[in-house]
């Protein structure tokens, strides 16, 4: 089973070369709204938080960026970027939920495409809440 670990900002530079390729695909899926360099800046500025999944051998297998957002009735752990393998399964994702609760979150949300939404629903118990569509002006 993977272990989910919080990466403090002062360790970001030590793991970035491993994390960046995992998150690069997620930036493509976001229609290049954010590059990995821009994501790294948000992580360094502590606007987002980096969590990684590490297997039994200590190998980094996945990474996710999480933004904690305060709304009037909820504090949401919003998963902005996710990449790698073995994160979206019940055993591993329950650790993400524990981290979110420990940081005051009352909900976890994620932006994702239709296929990814099915993965979240099947493997981590998410429910469809809304569909996001966009028109560039």
In this prediction the pTM is 0.86
The per-residue pLDDT for 132 is 64
- pLDDT band of residue 127 (cuts 50, 70, 90) is confident
Q: What is the pLDDT of residue 25?
A: 81
Quote the CA–CA distance of 30 and 23 in Å, as a whole number.
11
Position 134 scores a pLDDT of 59
The answer to whether 104 touches 68, Cβ cutoff 8 Å, is: yes
Instruction: Look over the chain and give the mean of its residue pLDDT values, rounded to a whole number.
Output: 88
Backbone angles phi, psi at 123, to 5 degrees: -100, -25
Which of residues 129 and 44 earns the better pLDDT score? 44
What local confidence, expressed as pLDDT, does residue 26 receive? 81
**What pLDDT was estimated at residue 77?**
94
With 70 as the cut, is the pLDDT of residue 27 above it?
yes
Pick one of 3.40.630.30, 3.40.50.300, 3.30.460.80, 2.40.180.10 as the CATH number of 3-124.
3.40.630.30
Question: What DSSP string describes the chain?
Answer: --EEEEE-HHHHHHHHHHHHHHHHHHHHHTTTSS-HHHHHHHHHTTSSEEEEEE-TTS-EEEEEEEEEEE-SS-EEEEEEEEEESS-SSHHHHHHHHHHHHHTT-SEEEE---HHHHHHHHHHH-------------
- pLDDT tens across 76-121, in order? 999 989 899 877 788 888 999 999 999 999 999 987 777 777 877 8
């Amino acid at each position: 089973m993977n272990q989910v670990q919080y990466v403090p900002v002062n360790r970001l530079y030590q793991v970035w070369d491993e994390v960046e390729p995992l998150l690069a695909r997620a930036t493509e899926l976001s229609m290049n709204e954010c590059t990995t360099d821009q994501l790294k800046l948000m992580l360094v500025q502590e606007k987002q938080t980096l969590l990684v999944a590490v297997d039994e051998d200590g190998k980094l297998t996945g990474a996710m960026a999480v933004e904690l957002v305060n709304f009037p009735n909820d504090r949401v752990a919003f998963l902005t970027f996710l990449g790698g393998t073995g994160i979206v399964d019940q055993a591993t994702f329950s650790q993400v939920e524990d981290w979110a609760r420990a940081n005051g979150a009352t909900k976890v949300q994620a932006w994702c495409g239709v296929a990814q939404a099915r993965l979240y629903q099947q493997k981590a118990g998410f429910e469809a809440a809304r569909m996001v569509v966009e028109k560039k002006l």
